[in-house]
Structures are given as C-alpha cells and as structure tokens.
Amino acid sequence: MNTYGRYPVRLVRGSGARAWDDTGKEYLDFISGIAVNTLGHAHPALVRAISEQAQTMLHCSNLFHIPAQEKLAEKLTRLAGIERAFFCNSGAEANEAAIKLMRKYWYDQHSPRRTIITATRSFHGRTLNTLTATGQDKVKTGFDPLPPGFIHVPLGNMNALKQAVGDDTAGILLEPVQGEGGVNVVADAYLRGVRKLCNDTGILMVLDEVQTGVGRTGEMFGFEHTGMRPDILTLAKGLGGGVPIGAMLASESVAASFGPGTHGCTFGGNPLSCTAALTVIDVIEQEGLLENARTQGGHLLLGLKAIQRTHPVMQEIRGQGLLIGAELSCDVAETIARCRESGLLLLPAGPKVLRFLPPLNVTSAEIDEALTILGDCLGTDYIGTDGGSS
Ligand SMILES: *Cc1c(COP(=O)(O)O)cnc(C)c1O
C-alpha cells in the first residue's frame, strides 16, 4: 500500500555508517533506519550472534521460559534500575502495553484514574491508542472515533501540567527528547518537576524512550541525564540493532498488575530478537559507544554551528548525543534531496528540521565528511531566503 513517501533509492547493502544502493552508489547513512541501526550496518558481532541463534532456535513462544529473554530482562532491568520487563515487537506495542498497564494499575486499586496526559508535538505510534496519545493532528485525521482517555499539555509548562492533573489522571507519558516532533529536548528541570508531581499525587510517570533509549543520547537511557527514573519505560527502535524488538520496563509495584492473561505478545521476546538486543548492549559496553555518542555528538553539533555561521538559513541547532536536529528557515525536503544525491542520507523531523541519526559507532572522519556534504548542499543560493524556493 502507498503508506510511505519513499525516497527514489533502493538500498541493498551496508557496512558501518555506509550503505549502497542497487546501482552501486555509496551513501553515508545518517538515518540508520530511523535510529534503529545502533551499531551501523552488518556489525560482525551482531551478524555472528543472530546467525548462531538462527541455527539454534528462532522462536518457541512465551508458553516457555526463554533463556535469552531472561538474560535480556536481567540486563535491561539492572541498567535501568526498573525491576520488571515485558517484550514486544515495536515502539507502538511497547506504548500500548504501558497504556494498558497504567489503566490496570488503577483498576486494581479500585480507583477511577484512567486519563493519560501527553505533550503537544509528541509522537507515540500509529495504533489507535498511540496515535491518540500523539500530540500531532496529522496522524489522527480520518481515524475517528478515537479512543477516549488522552489529553495533551504544552511541553515544558509545569503550570499547565499541574492544572491538567485531576482525580481521573492515571499517568503522564513523555519523550525526554521529542524525536519525530522536531528534536525538542525537554529540560531536565521539567522532567524532575514531573517526577515530583507524580510522587506527590501518586500518578505514574512513563517515559517513551523508543527513540532516545539504548545509547542514542549518550547515556544508555535518556532519563539518566536527569537524575530521576520513571515508573514505566518503553524502548524499541535501537534495541535490536535492526531486528524488531520492543520492551516495556516497569517498577515492581506497577508491574504486579500484569498477571497471566492480562497482556501478551506471540512474537514478543523471542530467542532471535533477544539475542540481537543482548549483543547490541554488549557491543555498546565493550566498544565504549556511549562515550563515542557523546564525543561525536559534540563534534557534530560544533560542525553544524560552524555551518550556521556561514549559512543563515540554518536556525536553531539542538539535540542530545547522536540525536541532533538543525532547524532551517525553509522546508527541508530540498536540502535532504540534495544531500542524498551527494551521498548523505538525512531525514526530517517535521517540515523544517533536519535530523541526524548516525550509528553510535560513527567516526569523526565520517561526521566531517557529512558536514562537508551538507555545507555544499545548503549552498549559497539559500542564504537569506525564507521560502526555500531556490
Ligand atoms: C518511532 C517511535 C514510536 C513508534 O515506534 P514503532 O516501532 O514505529 O511502532 C513511538 N515513540 C517514539 C518516541 C518513536 O520515536
């Protein structure tokens, strides 16, 4: 079905931060399959681990204990400091699980709390609940009747949030950096304020780290920048390094509301996807990729700021780790197309923001190369324009 506005390229092969199309043209891949290819393309350790797992067992279902799933649950819960894990296949599924768990938690306490508060410009997925949770109208049009029980508040405004919290509030669902919504970094102080509000009222704090999780921001989880942790955490995109897997972590007392029969997922946490995720986390640790994400993220930010000085079309530059956005004063589509033709793959975050998502093992030479291509593609004909109609 025609659900995607696709680029006119067929990628067939990749290695690290590079990919090749079916004509043999080489690209520097700063999309990484939308923050999925954490280790770049064809990382040897990931290739080896999933090949060996495929020769052993791909799937057996959650009717059985699954050793790789147990190891992954142990690893993630220890790293996050959140006691329990549930596995699924995607970001939307992880958020659906979080929405169900929030509601069930209050149901079990005979409380009427059902409403979930989310932020404007957020993105939480494409299922009916997660698109309703999403704070952008463009994903909702045509899909009514939408499920009830979601309200939106302007991101970063603590007074608006306090006013929105009522006797029916079950929890607050936020991204620590809004990815799809424009690379909007949420202030640490705001997130700590949300944590305090949740502590004071007893409502649940849920962080959607589907895009920010697994090293993208320079910490294993984005919440680690803030010195507090959520009650529920969702992960997906980068977790399997390209193998589909999602996860929802929850604190012991909240997770207790999911007993046998309350939720499930046939494919969730199968031996293949859990082996992939374990390998991704191992490689992040062994190759120092959190440190690399911070260093190269800083390098990319500085390089973009240097371009900004000679190209007034480039407005605000923002981000965390290797999730970086550069807002242009014009639509980004033409710049993205030019970069692609010149061998650099970038994606938008909304109409005016260029989004950079290189793999966590990107090198500074690759970043320099990307910056050179971008500088050339922004071109002098863009300077001073605001319509981007050059
Ligand atoms: C991509 C994304 C989702 C949806 O994930 P899917 O795997 O496409 O369902 C949810 N939340 C955030 C923050 C995302 O970036």
How much is the pTM?
0.96
- pLDDT at residue 61, as a whole number: 98
Contact 117, 132 (CB under 8 A): no
**150 part of the active site:** no
Contact 315, 329 (CB under 8 A): yes
Q: Whose CA is nearest to atom 10 of ligand 1?
A: 124
CA distance 299 to 221: 21
Backbone φ and ψ for 239, nearest 5 degrees, come out as -65, -45
Bond prior to 271 in cis (omega within 30° of 0): no
Q: Which residue has the tokens 């304020």?
A: 193
CA distance 276 to 232: 23
> What is the per-residue pLDDT across 290-324, written as a single tens digit (0 to 9) for each?
999 999 999 999 999 999 999 999 999 999 999 99
Q: Tokens representing 11?
A: 């990628």
- pLDDT at residue 380, as a whole number: 56
Pocket of ligand 1, candidates 90, 96, 210, 355: which has the most ligand atoms within 8 Å of its Cβ, to mutate? 210
Catalytic residue among 87, 150, 208, 258: 208
Best CA proximity match to 359, nearest among 48, 36, 45, 49: 36
Backbone φ and ψ for 176, nearest 5 degrees, come out as -70, -30
- pLDDT at residue 387, as a whole number: 40
Best CA proximity match to 183, nearest among 300, 80, 82, 96: 300
- pLDDT at residue 388, as a whole number: 38
Catalytic residue among 30, 86, 123, 258: 123
- pLDDT at residue 389, as a whole number: 39
**208 part of the active site:** yes
87: which strand partners?
247
| pLDDT-flagged residues of the chain (< 70) | 380-390
CA distance 386 to 390: 10
Q: Whose CA is nearest to atom 8 of ligand 1?
A: 91
> What is the per-residue pLDDT across 104-142, written as a single tens digit (0 to 9) for each?
999 999 999 999 999 999 999 999 999 999 999 999 999
